[in-house]
Amino acid sequence: MTASISAWIWSERFWLPENVSWADLEHPPAGAEYPRLQHMLSHAFPLAAGVLLLRLLFERLVAKPCAHILQIQTGVPRRAQPNAVLERLYQANTCPDTRQLEGLSKQLDWEERKIQRWFRIRRNQDRPGTQKKFCESMWRFTFYLVIFIYAICHLWLSPWTWDTRQCWYNYPFQPLSPGQYNHYVAELAFYWSLMVSQFTDIKRKADLRRHCCSNQLN
């Protein structure tokens, strides 16, 4: 089944012109190099692990000291009043609906407004601090700045930079320069690393539950 999925994803009919196969790209002319799938598997994947390690070191040794210099503190959020009933519901649903609020109000003899306030404070406890946001943003800014400068230096003279029609000239038999190779492998490694770190990175957009909660509070 894996082979069938791989054959479907890398279908020559989809990616390549007629009468061209992946095997034709395995034997470039002397002194030239063509893009290959092996470049992504054998170079980008291992380099992604190195990018993750570099990120950890950068955030700890560079970004965090910069945050201290700029007096960006971690911040200690206000803690919600301990309540076993509300905490149990919070673990299942961080934003209760109107019916649940009414039931909790009767069960605890609390006003619904007070319960809403408790959930808002409790959600704030789980939100990342300003310093963590700063360190993550500084890492991304640094990477994008470095890769942008590198691209300008090495890709500026490429003909397809100024004429996008050149991107398809003699496709797919297009020689790959060392500058192009380094740029795209670095980009691939960075985004592969994000595939892993997305589960711990700070969410940049509010989800529907937070939106519903804000509507309730208003």
Digit-coded pLDDT (tens) for 151-195 = 998 888 888 888 888 888 888 888 888 888 889 899 999 999 998
- Same domain? For 141 and 170 the reply is yes
pLDDT at 147 over 60: yes
pLDDT at 26 over 90: no
Q: Is residue 189 part of a domain?
A: yes
Q: Which long-range contacts (CB under 8 A, 24 or more apart) does 195-199 make?
A: 196/48, 196/52, 197/52, 197/55
pLDDT at 7 over 70: yes
> What local confidence, expressed as pLDDT, does residue 127 receive?
72
Give the number of domains in the chain: 2
- Worst-scoring range by mean pLDDT, 20-24, 96-100, 164-168, 209-213? 209-213
Tell me the residue range of the domain where 173 lies: 36-70+129-197
Digit-coded pLDDT (tens) for 58-78 = 999 999 899 888 888 766 567
Q: Is residue 2 part of a domain?
A: no
Q: Is residue 20 part of a domain?
A: no
DSSP string, 63-117: IHHHHHHTT-----PPPPPP-HHHHHHHHH-SS--HHHHHHHHHHHT--HHHHHH
Place 37 in a pLDDT band, splitting at 50, 70 and 90.
confident
- Same domain? For 112 and 182 the reply is no
pTM value > 0.85:
no
- Same domain? For 62 and 153 the reply is yes
Round the average pLDDT of the chain to a whole number and report it.
82
> What percent of the chain has a predicted confidence (pLDDT) above 90?
18
pLDDT mean over 9-27: 84
- Same domain? For 179 and 144 the reply is yes
